[in-house]
Structure 1
């Protein structure tokens, strides 16, 4: 019984820690260098940026520092997001593996 309480307490502490949460960043207010630096520092980040279709909507991407951050069989793939100073700021995202890609 004591062991179960200790395990549950440890799980509760881990789940409540800030390490478990993924950071978010709005790219429209940051330079490309700031976006890339933030991704490298946090290893995986949710990026929020305005749609290029002019609808006023927001789009989201999960940017990663490198392929090692991709879960499962995914791999790193180049992409870009708009930033304050660049229309196409290069980032890495995770893409799923298929029979056609390793």
Structure 2
């Protein structure tokens, strides 16, 4: 859990992902299209990926990926991020975290 928290606070936007996950790909693309350069942690490529996946599940992320952190705070998974995008709240969160300046 400490490792996840530390990694989540190292950049304005942090995404925990799996390289084979199509929803993870869609969420990463959404952020790239917003002009955000998130830190991406591919759990299936990390030596301690399984531990981090369990920590994300304990945070309430089900499924465990994609797990998105903005400004060091857990935002949610794909459904939450897409809802924020559709209602216009995502851009505000990204500005407040310093991920975008527009």
Larger strand percent: 1
TM-score (ref. length: structure 1)? 0.27
Larger helix percent: 2
Higher relative contact order (CA 8 A, sep 6+): 2
Larger radius of gyration: 1
